[in-house]
Amino acid sequence: MDNNILIKEYVKRISLFYIDAHNILSLHESSQSRIIILDKVYDKLGLLSIRQDEMIRQSLRCVENKLYAAAHVMAWAAIMDHIEEKIEKKGLNKLLKIRNKWKLNTIEDLRENYPEHQILDAGKDLKLYTKSISKALKGLLNKRNECAHPSDYYPDLNQTLGYISEIISRIEMISKAK
C-alpha cells in the first residue's frame, strides 16, 4: 500500500478517535471536552456578525482558561450586540415612535445612553421577540450582572456552559423571529 494512502488512513482514524473521545468525555460534568461539544453546536449557528462571532469565541476561550465569570460577560456582550443590530435593522424611527422621549440618532446613541434592560424592553416592543423570551433575556442579564459586578456568585464550568448554550439558543430564536 502507498505510504500517502496509509498516512491519510491514520490521520482519518486519529480524527475519528479524537471525536469519539470527546463525545465520551463530554458526558462527565467537569470535563473540558464539553467545551468542544458546545463549540461544535456553536459552529452550526452561523447567524452572527463577525464581531458577535468573535465575542462568543472569546467567551469559549474564557471557559477553556477557567475564567467563568468573564465567559458570562463576553457571551452577554454578543447577544446584546445581536439585539441592538436587530433594533437598528427594524429602524430607529420605529423605536422612537414607541419610545418618544428617547433621544437618539444612531445605534451608538442607544448603546451609550440607555441601560440594557430598557433596550431589552424596546426589542420586545418592536416585536423582535416575545414576552417570554424578554423575561428569559432579563434573567440572563441578571446572571451577567452577577458576574460583571462584585457579588457572591462564582459560576463553575457547568453553569457557564449552560449560560453560553442558552445565549446561543436565544440568538437563534431571535434570528428566526419574523
Q: Tens-of-pLDDT digits for all 178 residues of the chain? A: 677 777 777 667 766 655 655 555 555 544 454 555 555 555 555 778 889 989 988 998 899 899 999 999 999 999 999 999 999 999 899 999 999 999 999 999 999 999 999 999 999 999 999 999 999 999 999 999 999 999 999 999 889 989 998 999 899 889 887 6
Please tell me the predicted confidence (pLDDT) of residue 4. 73
Q: Is 15 helix (H, G, I), strand (E, B) or coil?
A: helix
Rounded Cα distance, 55 and 52, in Å: 5
CATH 1.10.150 fits 32-176, yes or no: no
Start-to-end Cα distance in the chain: 56
Q: What are the sequence ranges of the domains in the chain?
A: 1-31, 32-176
**Integer Rg of the chain from CA:** 20
- Confidence (pTM): 0.77
